[in-house]
A and B are shown apart, each in its own frame.
Chain A
């Protein structure tokens, strides 16, 4: 019995009951398809978060008000805690190894252009250090300067998404926009950073920090201080110094600060943990459907064997050995699941394309998930086909021939 013989036997067995074969394969197709789609959504999410975080600038420490609640990675902004101020930022700038400091105040506002378009976007009050700290570049015009801050100028620099929302294809520089019903003159635009995820730096407007505090928000606070460290190896050292400095300025114990400092690695690590858990969760839900599909395979194989008992008896009578019978049925179940696996990968790929197109969630079908799909489907075939195949091989020829 050669491989070709096996293939011919397989073909005639699987095509003899096409509806049943099709339905059984469908179970595996759905199982593998959902595993591929779910894992691709999880991996795509992880990838886009990672790239957006790396796009925010490396060597970056982010200081936020409120303490990190221990071990769980959440930030609690408890009442009565001292907010951060511009003075805190200036003090941090004095620490050795700090390349740039950017105090920022962040709020969402309704914006209207002179063309009548409007958008609800993130408005960030910044100082000139923002560009260096956040590694952002100017596309046209100029950025916010210290003169603008000193004079509480009503000027704005727009991110590319905001430009598009407000002005379409028209040149925004020199035009006036209204932020929270106050006029601002557009003096520049930034280049697209193109990162997506939970924060889109392109969908923003930058205004002088002082203007933001006095005119738009009416509070003398900053929401974050971005600290750019000159050398990556100094990250831990600078973080410790910033902690000590701010703790003494706020008169709190450095071991229990009323602020928190994240490095990009911290954020990345936490988010990776979250996306991994998410991917695993999605994958295991899909995995359950795969197991159900596998049970379907086993059920069909047992049914097939019962139906073909006399055929098995005949094959044994005319000289088939036990392993040849087992191999034939095992090959049938593996062929079913493999076929299901291949179709499932196509389905999963199609699903993730649909998700990307219609839900706007990034997905990525990687080679590893294809290998996973094929590997899983063939092992499902072997695992769930093994018992029926063994049972077929063990049938006694006389009993099998007599089976009614």
Chain B
């Protein structure tokens, strides 16, 4: 479902070009739970941006759900992000002005889902993310970090994406709530068959995934199944 062929990414900086990814080739099948691991500077963030269609590779091909996104422009990439990818970020990025429910409905708005369908879909997503219903009309400021990350997971699920891309989802949480969030991912993977790509630098976070891809200096140095 996800297929990367010799992905290279070169950044131009004042010190000269920096090669962040040096030819990454790997693929992820439907329903897999993969952790991409690496220290900072390993290129995992760059890879996450490319996988998430936030950025394009300098060379190589990236096929997502049968579509070659390598040559797409900004607006086509936005369309892909809107319908195929659900993001979960370390800092949650919830809109403080909107209620929990409206935060989850936001991607549906950009995807052009008719208004009357948005709320039921948002509620279903929140249910899958295991957020108690009493929080639905709360402001994100009024709930705990763990709850906020669940709202973010629900937002990522709302559009029924082919892949959930989580970038250090437990980075801002204490280990206990972090564990709960990771269990939520695990159950989405096991019970709902979601494809999840988890980006992290912590091996005990990566341990929740069924497969670990380890990056170092822009190259894959390890790709193994955990079970």
Chain A interfacial positions (CB closer than 8 Å to B): 1-2, 4-5, 12-13, 16, 310-311, 313-324, 397-398, 401
Query: B78 touching A322 by the CB < 8 A rule?
Result: yes
- Note all chain B residues with C-beta closer than 8 A to A313: 93
- Note all chain A residues with C-beta closer than 8 A to B82: 318-320
CA distance A310 to B75 in the complex (A): 19
Query: A319 touching B49 by the CB < 8 A rule?
Result: no
CA distance A40 to B74 in the complex (A): 50
Query: B110 touching A12 by the CB < 8 A rule?
Result: no
- What are 27 A-B pairs with beta-carbon distances under 8 A? A13-B97, A310-B93, A311-B93, A314-B89, A314-B95, A315-B110, A316-B78, A317-B81, A317-B87, A317-B93, A318-B82, A318-B107, A319-B82, A319-B107, A319-B110, A319-B111, A319-B159, A320-B82, A320-B110, A321-B75, A321-B79, A322-B74, A322-B75, A323-B75, A398-B49, A398-B54, A398-B55
CA distance A144 to B111 in the complex (A): 88
- Note all chain B residues with C-beta closer than 8 A to A4: 115
Q: How many whole Å from A311's CB to the nearest CB in chain B?
A: 6
Query: B83 touching A319 by the CB < 8 A rule?
Result: yes
Query: B54 touching A317 by the CB < 8 A rule?
Result: yes
User: B106-123, CB under 8 A of A: which get 1 and which 0?
Assistant: 110111100100000000
CA distance A13 to B102 in the complex (A): 14
Known: A12-B98, A310-B93, A398-B49. A318 touches B115 (CB 8 A): no
Indicate if B52 sits at the interface (CB-CB under 8 A). Answer: yes
Indicate if B211 sits at the interface (CB-CB under 8 A). Answer: no
**A5-B109, A317-B54 given; 11 more Cβ-contact pairs under 8 Å:** A310-B91, A310-B93, A314-B95, A315-B106, A317-B93, A318-B107, A319-B82, A319-B110, A324-B110, A397-B54, A398-B49
Q: Which of B75, B91, B106 contacts A318 (CB 8 A)?
A: B106
Q: How many whole Å from A325's CB to the nearest CB in chain B?
A: 10
- Note all chain B residues with C-beta closer than 8 A to A316: 78
- Note all chain A residues with C-beta closer than 8 A to B78: 316, 319-322
Known: A319-B82, A320-B78. A1 touches B97 (CB 8 A): no
Within 8 A of A (CB), among B133-174: 155, 159
- Note all chain B residues with C-beta closer than 8 A to A310: 91, 93
Q: How many whole Å from B47's CB to the nearest CB in chain A?
A: 13
CA distance A12 to B98 in the complex (A): 8
CA distance A320 to B106 in the complex (A): 10
- Note all chain A residues with C-beta closer than 8 A to B83: 319
Q: How many whole Å from A319's CB to the nearest CB in chain B?
A: 2
- Note all chain B residues with C-beta closer than 8 A to A324: 110
Chain B interfacial positions (CB closer than 8 Å to A): 49, 52, 54-55, 74-75, 78-79, 81-83, 87, 89, 91, 93, 95, 97-98, 106-107, 109-112, 115, 155, 159
Q: How many whole Å from A10's CB to the nearest CB in chain B?
A: 11
Q: Which of A1, A5, A311, A319 contacts B81 (CB 8 A)?
A: A319
Query: A317 touching B52 by the CB < 8 A rule?
Result: yes
- Note all chain B residues with C-beta closer than 8 A to A5: 109, 115
CA distance A2 to B115 in the complex (A): 9
CA distance A1 to B112 in the complex (A): 6
- Note all chain A residues with C-beta closer than 8 A to B91: 310
CA distance A85 to B110 in the complex (A): 87
Who on chain A is nearest to B156 by CB? A318
- Note all chain A residues with C-beta closer than 8 A to B107: 318-319
- Note all chain B residues with C-beta closer than 8 A to A16: 97
Q: How many whole Å from B114's CB to the nearest CB in chain A?
A: 9
Known: A1-B110, A318-B155. A401 touches B55 (CB 8 A): no
Query: A1 touching B109 by the CB < 8 A rule?
Result: yes
Who on chain A is nearest to B91 by CB? A310
- Note all chain B residues with C-beta closer than 8 A to A314: 89, 93, 95
Query: A319 touching B79 by the CB < 8 A rule?
Result: yes
CA distance A326 to B81 in the complex (A): 18
Q: Which of B89, B98, B106 contacts A401 (CB 8 A)?
A: B89
**In the complex, which of the residues A311, A319, A322, A323 has the most CB atoms of chain B within 10 Å of its own CB atom?**
A319
CA distance A27 to B208 in the complex (A): 56
- Note all chain B residues with C-beta closer than 8 A to A12: 97-98
Who on chain B is nearest to A8 by CB? B102
**Which 9 interchain pairs have the tightest Cβ spacing?**
A319-B82, A319-B110, A314-B93, A318-B107, A321-B78, A12-B97, A16-B97, A320-B110, A319-B81
CA distance A5 to B112 in the complex (A): 10
CA distance A140 to B97 in the complex (A): 75
CA distance A360 to B52 in the complex (A): 69
- Note all chain A residues with C-beta closer than 8 A to B115: 2, 4-5
CA distance A4 to B106 in the complex (A): 13
- Note all chain A residues with C-beta closer than 8 A to B110: 1, 315, 318-321, 324
CA distance A322 to B76 in the complex (A): 11
**In the complex, which of the residues B55, B91, B110 has the most CB atoms of chain A within 10 Å of its own CB atom?**
B110
- Note all chain B residues with C-beta closer than 8 A to A13: 97
CA distance A119 to B24 in the complex (A): 102
CA distance A319 to B98 in the complex (A): 18
- Note all chain A residues with C-beta closer than 8 A to B75: 321-323
Query: A318 touching B81 by the CB < 8 A rule?
Result: yes
Who on chain A is nearest to B81 by CB? A319
CA distance A320 to B80 in the complex (A): 10
